A and B are shown apart, each in its own frame.
Chain A
Amino acid sequence: MNDWQRKSPLDWETYVNKMVKVAAIEKHEYEGWVLTVDPVSASIVLATFLENEKVSVSVVLGHAVQEVKILKEGDDGMKQRLSGIFAPEES
């Protein structure tokens, strides 16, 4: 287990709704807004907003995460936008 996987849910929560840069093994880098961190696998779910109003979702698996750096805090508007992405559909 790496340092990222050993963190507690309260630690992971501090990254939610923030713009981060994730350094993964084999020199991969990912940037985006943190939607959540899976407490089981420590996988981090990132969202990036594209020009055509589409959303790109990237999941970096917990075992591959080396370092997560916070780049920007999210304001209330961004928080709302992020929580709407996976919101259950109204039936």
Chain B
Amino acid sequence: ALLGGDAAAQGVRAALRQRYLRGLAAAQGRPTRFCLRAGVQVDAVFGAADVEAVAIQVDALRTPLGVQAAALLRCTDVLAYSFFL
């Protein structure tokens, strides 16, 4: 599925990806709740994500020990995240 295929599939793939990237741009700078493995939830400000979906960079990560100025969340640890527009 990841290698594309005929031209129609490639066009659809590009449209889906473009909308996803616009979504990432909209998330930037917004307070976001991350749902991690083992029922853990953390709040942070969304920074950026890499193209291959390996990690998400966040600012002001709230932890029980205080607020971490910057952090990287591994995508394999994240189940979902939500923010308000």
Chain A interfacial positions (CB closer than 8 Å to B): 5-13, 16, 24-26, 28, 30, 35-41, 43, 45, 50, 54-64, 85-88
C-alpha spacing A88/B25, complex, angstroms = 10
What number of B residues sit within 8 Å (CB to CB) of A? 36
Known A-B contacts: A7-B1, A13-B16, A85-B85. Give 10 more (CB < 8 A).
Answer: A9-B4, A11-B1, A30-B80, A38-B16, A39-B1, A43-B53, A45-B20, A54-B84, A56-B83, A59-B80
* Smallest CB-CB A-B distances: 5 pairs: A41-B53, A36-B19, A86-B22, A9-B13, A38-B20
Contacts A/B (CB < 8 Å), 21 sampled: A5-B1, A8-B9, A9-B12, A12-B12, A13-B16, A24-B79, A26-B39, A37-B16, A38-B17, A39-B1, A39-B20, A40-B52, A40-B53, A41-B53, A45-B23, A57-B82, A57-B83, A58-B81, A59-B23, A59-B82, A86-B19
CB atoms of B1 and A40 under 8 A apart: no
A61 vs B79: C-alpha distance in the bound complex, in angstroms?
6
B residues near A (Cβ < 8 Å) are 1-2, 4-5, 8-10, 12-13, 15-17, 19-20, 22-23, 25-27, 35, 37-39, 51-53, 75-76, 78-85
Whether A58 and B39, one on each chain, are in contact in the complex, defined by CB atoms closer than 8 angstroms, is: no
Assess whether B1 is in contact with A9, with CB atoms less than 8 Å apart. Answer: yes
